[in-house]
Amino acid sequence: MANLREPLVGLEIGTNKVCALVGEFTDDGTISFIGAGLAQSQGMRKGEIVDYQAVTESVRKALAMAEREANVEIGSVFLGITGGGIQGIPSSGTIAIDNQEGTVTGQDISQAIAQARKIAFPKKHAIIHACKQRFFVDGGAAVAEPLNISGRMLRADVLVIHGLHSRIQNAVRAVRDNRVEVEDIVFNGVASSLAILDTESKRMGALVMDIGAGTTDVVAYVAGGIHYAAVIPVGGDHFKNDLALGLQIPPSTAEQLKKSQGRVDVPGEKIKDEIIPLSQESGFFPQTCSKHDLYVIMRARCREIFEIIRDELKERKLLDLIAGGIFITGGVARTAGIFDLAKEVFGKSVELGMPWEFEGNMTITDTPEVSTAAGLVRYGFRRTVDKLGTSRRGPTSFWSGLLPRRDPE
Amino acid sequence: MYTFDGVNEARRDREREECMVRVLGVGGAGCNAVNRLAMESNERIGTVAINMDGQVLASSLADRKVQIGKQINNGLGAGGDVVKGQKAAMSDILLIEEAIEGADIVFIVVGLGGGTGTGAAPEVIRAARNAGALVLVFATLPFRFEDPKRMVKARQGFNTIQELADAVFMVPNDRWVDMVGTGATVLEAFRTIDDLMAQCVRSLFRIITATGIINLDFGDLRAVLHNAGQCAFGTGLAEGEGRAAAATEMALGGPLLRKGFPLQTAGSLMVHIMGGPDLALTQIEEVMDTIRQKASAQAQISFGACVDEGFQNRILVTLIATDTAPVDIPLSHLDRAKEKNALASDRGIVENVALTPPPGTVSSSRGRLQKMAPHPAKVLNQELLPLEQPSHGIFDPGDPTTYNDQNLDLPTYLRRNIALSRKNGLSEADS
């Protein structure tokens, strides 16, 4: 039985890196990281497994490194899931409240959510989360927490996040093949949000865009609940590829250039003629490239990603409901000029999202790249707290509304 | 050398006497080019036209015609859709295999950028490799003035092809326009490209089949071209006084060899000289010296020469340059690269340079020894234009990410027609 004394592990299999973070619960109720394992990710592309063996090996490396540093043996992990095709569909479930007192119990809430999960979604897909959005007791105004309210009917509105079953299974298998169990699967976007958003932001409405090498994972909160979840299989690697093709240079040079000099600003008049020297050993490739082109190519790609997300939110009438902030996290958040560009596209100010309220003296957790893994650990602890709480009287209200939960099968 | 499996045993015996070459034109441009060869009707060079468009095939002169994708597209062309081209080839793969059957060398000619050629060619290459043939590809790229999307498709197709085929000869159409001159009509330009392709096939064929003083046979050709990557070739024919120098000059001046520039980084070269009964040793020396000067010290040079009655007072020089593994290798192909590197370092050096320094000449020998260190794998310096990145782009053209009818894997600046200044500083080869 899980207990809060044992360390937890969050594992993210990214397109560029595999990250395993080991955290433990401290006495003052915060999470402290005691070990991290990072391995170069091989065999992933656009968030999907294209070389299973290679992925299994990368996972092994990351887990081994984390075990050494944290000085623990990893038996199970909370696994982050991504991939194009992951989407959220709104759904609702209604049940009758038929206990003696006529008030909503924890069991009623669970049942209503279970009802909401019975939704038609694409064949070959499986549910990853059913995220609570809001409840209605006998109609009326929406409530975030219906526990102990009296009434006869309870309706739960949720966002069902689902993804291709086979992809999820492959990721799980890659972990299991390393003789490690998967405690639970979590959508990466949900994990990142847990890592970087505080309660206030979620209540006011917040947008989180985790832009990694292979994918952009998006989650939007409205009034404390998740109302949008999606994956756009476009990420840092697309910037690299665009540069390679546009500047006619090898991908490795493009990657280096992107990181060292890449910006997404509008190239000003002054830099129109500026040339960047490239180091190429053979005379075959260009020795220089235009700074103007570098910016233009990166800006176009970055803008497109933001525009797609903005349009998705507008279509669902969610953009106006986000008052608590727009956050970019993930490796691409380091791109110079990205926040200004995002502000242009979204019309609201945009900030860097970083994992917060975590302890442990590891510099690695002070980076946007590990938001997902950090969030997975937080998710893990909340689930543990939840499980301990449920055995008594129902879900701990402190966590509800914030925690996308998997209902007992 | 190579280990032959059972299937190839019989072939090895046969190839000492006879070598079957088959030229497959894939897609519209490929089929046109193949017509050129078909007109010469050499029975050991079989021609095959492979296309989706029934009408184009009807007018083809090839020995054999294969229509692909009839079931899925009703005999129409691919309309620029690479995925359609690929699917068409896959759906009629048996027909393609039949057409390849029995060939030792499969020469695939394709114009990249459209749908059928770009999509189907990789499948044809795979089938030919599986059949144990040596696979050589002659590919052209779109003109610069064509739709940039074609160029992107062409590049991606080329990268795939380069990884699958043994050797690739690539002609970017623009380069040729430089050579032909501003006055040339479009038809003339296309015709010269077709001629170039035919010349390439004929040269290789001649090298193998001509028996003479010093033979190069199919085995030698395969040694040079197996897993060779990008290649260049050139031929020069001259007569009269000073013909050795003139022919060599011509061969080096061809559009793919650009005055011998690629030779500087070429890992291996194959030179073939055809002369009349009056072919002199000094002429051969002249040709070889000129070429050797341009090549790097580590290059492996294979040489063949033959005498033909009809070549009195004339000399024909054919030169093929190849290199080994490309610079950026996608991880999943790391093993292939290792194989290529192993081949490169296994080859000895043609000149008999002593590996141990003779006594009393320590310093100069050390200099020599250093030069003999394995040549680092490089891309052949052949072209200024697109497809410099030898590695396949990161994304698989057959598995695109689409959103609102846009393929998000293609560069955004391209899809949104955002202009670039294109101020690329190109190398000193910019002559």
B163 and B292 assigned to the same domain: no
Q: Is A41 touching B (CB cutoff 8 A)?
A: no
What's the confidence (pLDDT) of residue B397? 67
Q: In chain A, positions 218-277, which contact chain B (CB-CB < 8 Å)?
A: 232-234, 237-238, 240-242, 244-252, 272-273, 275, 277
| pLDDT value of position A362 | 72
First-to-final CA distance of chain A? 17
B421, A238: Cβ pair inside 8 Å? no
Q: How many separate domains does chain B show?
A: 2
Does B416 reside within a domain? no
Q: What would the DSSP string read from start to end of B366-407?
A: HHHHHHTSPPPP------SSS----SPPSS-TTS--EETTEE
A296 and B378: CB-CB below 8 Å? Answer: no
Q: Going by C-beta distance under 8 Å and a sequence separation of 6 or more, which residues neighbour residue A326? A: A206, A207, A209, A342, A346, A348, A349, A350, A351
pLDDT band at A390; cut points 50, 70, 90: low
Q: How many angstroms separate the CA atoms of A294 and A276, rounded?
A: 9
The structural domains of chain A, ordered by start, are 87-163 (3.30.1490.110), 199-355 (3.30.420.40)
Q: Outline where B18-114 has alpha helix (H).
A: 27-38, 54-58, 70-73, 82-91, 93-100
Determine whether the interchain pair B420/A241 forms a contact, defined as Cβ–Cβ distance below 8 Å: no
Residue B21, phi then psi, degrees to nearest 5: -110, 135
Interstrand relation of B21-26 and B105-111 (parallel, antiparallel or unpaired): parallel
Structural domain harbouring B282 = 231-387
Nearest CB to B408; choose among A51, A234, A275: A234
Among the ranges given (A164-168, A177-181, A272-276), the one the predictor scored with the smallest mean pLDDT: A272-276
pLDDT digit string, tens, across residues A35-93: 999 999 988 999 999 899 999 999 999 999 999 999 999 999 999 999 988 999 999 99
B254 with B374, same domain: the answer is yes
How far does the CA of residue B195 sit from the closest CA of chain A (Å)?
26
Query: Closest-CA residue in chain A for B410?
Result: A242
Q: Are residues B293 and B185 in the same domain?
A: no
Angle CA(A141)–CA(A147)–CA(A149) in degrees, nearest 5? Answer: 55
Q: Which of B145, B176, B209 is the last residue before a domain boundary?
A: B209
CATH of the domain at B76: 3.40.50.1440
| CB < 8 Å to A286, chain B | 388, 424-427
In tens, the pLDDT along A267-326 reads: 887 777 787 877 655 545 667 888 999 999 999 999 999 999 999 999 999 999 999 999
Of B381, B408, B420, the CB nearest to A293: B420
CB–CB contact A245 B422 (8 Å): no
* Contact yes or no for A211/A232 (Cβ under 8 A): no
Residue A143 tokens read as: 């409530």
Residues 122-151 of A with CB under 8 A from B: none
Spell out which residues of chain B touch residue A256, defining contact as CB-CB under 8 Å.
Answer: none
Residues B256 and B374 in one domain: yes
pLDDT at A173: 95
User: Residue B151: closest CA among chain A residues belongs to which residue?
Assistant: A245
Which residue is closest to A85 within chain B, CA to CA? B401
B235 and B124, same structural domain?
no
For residue B331, what pLDDT is reported?
26
Q: In chain B, which residues have their Cβ closer than 8 Å to the Cβ of A241?
A: 393-395, 409, 411
Collapsed DSSP state (helix, strand, coil) of residue A264: coil
Distance from CA of A132 to the nearest CA of B (A): 28
Q: What is the pLDDT of residue B261?
A: 59
**Beta-carbon separation of B394 and A292 below 8 A:** no
* Chain A interface disruption, residue of B331, B394, B406, B428, most A CBs within 10 A: B394
Domain-located, residue B94: yes
Q: By the 8 A CB rule, do B200 and B169 touch?
A: yes
* A289 close to B (CB below 8 A): yes
Closest by Cβ to A296, choosing from B378, B388, B413: B413
Q: Are residues B195 and B246 in the same domain?
A: no
**Is residue B222 helix, strand or coil?**
helix
Q: Which of B421, B426, B427 sits opposite A293 (nearest CB)?
A: B421
pLDDT single digits (tens) A4-44: 788 999 999 999 999 999 999 888 878 999 999 999 998 89
CA distance B211 to A308: 65
Q: Does A303 touch chain B (CB under 8 A)?
A: yes
Whether residue B299 contacts residue B322, with contact meaning beta carbons closer than 8 Å, is answered with: no
Q: Is B82 helix (H, G, I), strand (E, B) or coil?
A: helix
B424: in domain: no
How far is CA A295 from each of CA A250, A352, B198, B395, rounded to the nearest angstrom?
Answer: 17, 21, 44, 22
Residue A174 has pLDDT above 90, yes or no: yes
CATH of residue B358's domain is: 3.30.1330.20
Interface with B, mutate which of A234, A245, A279, A341 (most B CBs under 10 A): A245
Same domain? B107 vs B195: yes
Q: Which chain B residue shows the shortest CA-CA distance from A233? A: B401
**Residue in A with minimal Cα distance to B390:** A250
Q: Is the complex ipTM more than 0.85?
A: yes
Q: Looking at the structure, tell me whether residues B200 and B249 fall in a common domain.
A: no
Nearest CA in chain B to A237: B394
Cα A10 from Cα A23, distance rounded (Å): 8
SS3 B233: strand
Cα–chain center distance at A189: 2
Is the pLDDT assigned to residue A404 strictly greater than 70? no
Q: What's the rounded mean pLDDT across residues A170-181? A: 95
Residue in B332, B383, B409 nearest the CB of A51 = B332
The pLDDT of residue A365 is above 80? no
Which of B368, B387, B406 finishes a domain? B387
A-B CB pairs within 8 A amount to 137
Judging contacts by C-beta atoms under 8 Å, the chain B residues touching residue A288 are 423-425
Question: Is residue B62 included in any domain, yes or no?
Answer: yes
Distances from the Cα of A360 to the Cαs of A6, A337, B153, in angstroms? Answer: 16, 30, 49
Q: Do A290 and B421 touch (CB under 8 A)?
A: yes
- So what's the pLDDT on residue B382? 33
Determine the pLDDT at residue B267.
Answer: 78
**Co-location of B280 and B367 in the same domain:** yes
Chain B residues touching A84 at Cβ < 8 A: 401
For chain B, list residues whose CB is within 8 angstroms of any CB belonging to chain A: 152, 155, 265, 327-328, 331-332, 378-383, 386, 388-391, 393-396, 401, 403, 408-409, 411-414, 416, 418, 420-429
Contact B331 A54 (CB under 8 A): yes
Q: Is residue B226 part of a domain?
A: no
Asked if B257 and B328 sit in the same domain, the reply is yes
Record the tokens describing residue A251, joined without a space: 């991908």
Interface contact A308, partner B, CB < 8 A: yes
What pLDDT shows up at residue A386?
80
Mean pLDDT, rounded, of chain A: 88
Q: Are residues B165 and B295 in the same domain?
A: no
Residue in A with minimal Cα distance to B427 = A283
Q: Do A282 and B414 touch (CB under 8 A)?
A: no
Are residue B86 and residue B134 in the same domain, yes or no?
yes
Please give, rounded to a whole number of angstroms, the shortest distance from the CA of B380 to a CA of chain A: 8
- Closest residue in A to B402 (Cα) is A233
* Per-residue pLDDT tens digits of chain B, which is 431 residues long: 343 344 444 444 444 456 788 899 999 888 888 887 777 656 667 889 999 988 888 888 888 899 998 888 777 778 888 888 888 999 899 999 999 998 888 999 998 888 899 999 999 999 998 888 889 999 888 877 778 888 888 888 888 888 888 888 877 666 665 656 666 777 777 777 777 777 777 777 777 777 667 777 777 777 778 777 778 888 888 888 889 999 998 888 777 776 555 677 777 888 888 888 888 889 999 999 988 888 777 778 888 888 887 788 889 898 888 865 322 222 233 333 333 443 333 333 222 223 333 333 333 322 222 222 233 333 333 333 333 332 336 787 667 888 888 889 989 998 888 888 865 544 333 32
Last residue of a domain, one of B176, B209, B242: B209
**A285 with B427: Cβ contact below 8 A:** yes
Instruction: Give A 82-121 residues with CB within 8 A of chain B.
Output: 84
Backbone angles phi, psi at A408, to 5 degrees: -60, 130
Contact A42 B426 (CB under 8 A): no
Q: Which residue of A has its CA nearest to B424?
A: A289
